[in-house]
Each structure stands twice: as C-alpha cells, then as structure tokens.
Structure 1
C-alpha cells in the first residue's frame, strides 16, 4: 500500500507537468476557447473509447453513478472553457498562478463533500490568499477578466477533483473519463447548436469553426492524446491512492512547471510586473504551508488512533 501511494504520487507529478504544458498548447493554438475545448474533448473521447475497446472494459454503470459522471462532465467542460478563456484574454503566467487557489477552494469544499469540520488555519490561510490576489489585481489591471476566469476555473477544478475522488474508488478510470469527456462534448455541442440557430453565421457551427490550420491540428492531437486522454485516465487512477487535497496540493506545481515553460517558449511575452510575482509567491507559499500543516495533523491523528 505505501509503495502504491508513492508510485501514484510520483506518477501524478508527471501528469501535473503535462498539464503545465497544456497551458502552453492553449496559447499556441489559434482557436478560441470554445472550439478548442470542443475539439479537445471530442478527440480525447475517441482515444479513450479505443482504449476501452482494446482493453475490453464494460461501459455499463449504475444509473446513479452515470448521473454523477454527467455532472462531472459538465463541470470539467466549464473548467477547461474558463481555463483556456483566461489564457486567451491574459497569458499563461496569470492563468496558472491563479489556478493554484484551487487548493483553498478544496479546503472549504471538503467539509461539505466529506462531512468534516473546517480547520481554523484554513480560514486564516484563505484570508492570506486573498491578500495575494489583491496584490495581483492591483498591479495587473489590464488582465482583470483573465484573473476572474482563472479563479472560476480553479473553483471548478476543486469541485471536479472532489467528485472524481469518490468516483475513482468505485469505477474504472478510463470509463469514468470517457463518460465525463463525452458529456462535456455533448454539453458544448448543445450550446453551439443553440448559438448556430440564433446567431446563424456569426457563431456556433460556422465555416470558421471547422477551419483549422495544420499546425493547430498537430497541437490538438498532442493536447487530446497525451495531455487529455492519457493524463485524464492516469489522474483519475491515482485518486485511488491519493486524497483530493493531496491531488490539489500537487496540482499547485502546475504553475511552476507551466510558467517556466512559458518563459522558455514565449520569452518576454510572459514577463509580468514585480507585484504579480509577489502575489503569486504569497499564494503558493501559503498553499504549501497549509499542506504541510494538514499532513502533520493527519500523522498526529493516525498516531493517536494507533495508541
């Protein structure tokens, strides 16, 4: 069991690095957020279905669990729409730095999902994170929309993590991923059909929507296969051995990986005002300290239980 947890933890670090690269691909792809996410989820659904068929896994599930997966599918679609939307209206650094607040959303949502008490320092650290956000808001006034979209994306990632934390203990990871991604694709398709009906050629499934360059197809293929199908299945699988909070805490390395990659690839385009980095450091440091205290508290409780 300890070895399974260690392997899952190290494996999840690889997945988080891949997610950091996902932000880079989002910036490189010229498509807007909606078609980008639609293509990503559709292509990833196909890849995962092929995997399920190859492994001869059963797709039949209990109706109650399917309903939960449908909800999770809509949540992950909204998460990605706001995530890529934030990248398009701001940049990779802003989006990934704000995504780390997902750990705090998880801290406040876990008591609801898992019926536990709120810990006092979670509230204190939450207030400190707000200070970090305030600093970023003050210095990056031109990216307010991107900041808000990134915060919504972080909240949705916390909700999704908590939902999947329960599902992963009951169902196969690839089957969960297939249902969720297919649901997300369906939800966006319905939105686009409505937009097509009311807006005609000005939105929805227009000729421009299906006009994708060769470079974008290449990026989408990597995004859908490695960064989505593989990473999605693997991330759900490791949830069998890791708690939702540990997952969200590890995800906080995504900004580090992603911002470093962004500097390497985009150079000066990702350079921000000093205040942004001060705010980001406040947020990340607080999140790490919160995780340290949580781990220490958990170990102490386990020792007491043994005696």
Structure 2
C-alpha cells in the first residue's frame, strides 16, 4: 500500500511539473514555433548531459525504427506548437481542457492505426466531449480568438493522440530517456528553418530566456522524462485516468501566476470533458 501511494504521488509530481507548460505558454509572447525550438534545444542539452552521465546507449535501428522516430517527433512538434497557440489565444484554462480531449481521440484512432477492436461506447463518449467543447466555446467563429484557440487545442490533442499511439512500439524497445533525447533533438532540426521566416527581436528573446530555460529543462527534460519513467508502475489506463487531474493543475497555476479566474462555462464544459475522459478510462479498465 505504501509503495502504491508513493507511486501515485510521484506520478502526480510529474503531471504537476508538465502542467507548468500552461502558464509559461500563455506568458511567453514569442512565436510558438520559436518557443518550442528553444524549449527542445534546452531540453536536449539537459537530457544529453544526463544520458552521458548515466552512460545510456544511444544506438537505434534506423532501418526498422527510423521512420517512427521522425514521424513521432514531427507529431510532437505539431502538438506543442498548436498547444501554445491555444494557450495564447484561449487562455490557460480553455487551452489545457481542449488538449485533454486527447484520450478520447486516442480511443477513436487506435483501432484504425493499430488494428484493434473498436468499442461503440467510445463513440458516445466522443460526442460527450463535443458537448463539453460546445459549452466552452462562446460564439464559434474562426474570427473569434477564443474559438480559434480551442480549435488549436483540439488539433494539438489529435497530434498528441497519434504520436502516443506510434510511440508504444518505440517505448517497448528503447530507453525512455533516449527517446526523449532523440525526439527533442529532431524537433530542433525540424524547426530550425523558421529563422528564415520570423523576425526575432534580441531584447525580447533575452527578456524571456529565463522562462524558456525553465520550460526546457524543468517542464520538458525533467517532467516528461519523469512521466515516462513512471509508466513502469502503472498500466496505460491508470496513467490516463490519473492524468485527468492535470487540467486542474494547469488551471490552478494559471490562477496563481496569471490571475486567470475560470468562468462558469469553463468549469461546466471542463467538467463534462473530464467526466468523459474518466468514463473512457473506466470502460477501458473493465475491458
């Protein structure tokens, strides 16, 4: 019992650390692609130092897994960039709740991608998520900033869902820390061409360098690696269920650091979405 409680507390610590991305994503005013490039660069350096210290093998079979490595990195980059757009446009509360539709998308997409059995109950839960999103959205229009932010959040959820499905086979055969090292490194390479298209103000970047360092080293390198390490203590269903607390962590951090007070529609819509996710994990656990 003590070990299980310890494992739950450690997993929640990892989720809380990752949730710090929400207020940082809202606070940092740099273009999201530049923010993610910087985040991954600092995370890559931190993880590389750790890998060398622990003498973790960096060998991978490019002929068998190279394609999955590149595709998963591309999806992770898309997930992070669209998520930061969601945070900047819709705020922390709506941004993080929109993202947390990803367990439902995972359930709906996994049977197609991995050729597993589809459970029709999942379709009803998907519709319940849409109801929650409808409550969250004030007046849906692509010209409405909040609506556009929610759309980015849902896009981020889809990127994340597909990436997590593809990562399952990679995690089976590779060290999680090594996976994060390659993934952050590949994202840095993929996003480097952005410098040809954006105008960077040195003063503005320098002013936010401290926050970018925290985002890269603390949130990404420590948080995400710590989360993956905790997978050995729980089933995937249990991790998904426990991760439902993360929107609350993100909303709390948004209130604490940004003074964002959740509206009634945010609370109700968020409650509907989180309820759907909890029901989904409960059904999956029974199966």
* Aligned residue number for residue 261 of structure 2: 271
**TM-score, with structure 1 as normaliser:** 0.84
How much does 1:61 deviate?
0.9
Say whether residues 1:53 and 2:45 are aligned partners: no
Q: 1: CA distance between counterparts of 2:231 and 2:82?
A: 24
Distance 1:257 1:235, change over 3 A: same
Asked whether the equivalents of residues 86 and 148 of structure 2 are also in contact (C-alpha less than 8 Å), the reply is: yes
Q: 2: CA distance between counterparts of 1:45 and 1:168?
A: 18
* Aligned residue number for residue 242 of structure 2: 250
Cα deviation, 1:66-117, whole Å, max 9, x if unaligned, reads 3211211111111110011111122101101111101101111222344321
**TM-score, with structure 2 as normaliser:** 0.89
How much does 1:293 deviate?
2.6
Distance 1:229 1:176, change over 3 A: same
Say whether residues 1:143 and 2:146 are aligned partners: yes
Structure-to-structure mapping, 1:1-307, within 5 angstroms: 9-63=8-62, 64-138=64-138, 142-190=145-193, 192-193=194-195, 196=196, 203-204=197-198, 206-208=199-201, 211-214=204-207, 216-267=208-259, 270-295=260-285, 297-298=286-287
Q: 1: CA distance between counterparts of 2:243 and 2:202?
A: 32
Q: 2: CA distance between counterparts of 1:164 and 1:15?
A: 19
How much does 1:119 deviate?
1.2
Whichever of the two has the greater Rg, that structure is 1
Report how many residues are paired: 283
Q: 1: CA distance between counterparts of 2:110 and 2:178?
A: 25
Distance 1:156 1:70, change over 3 A: same
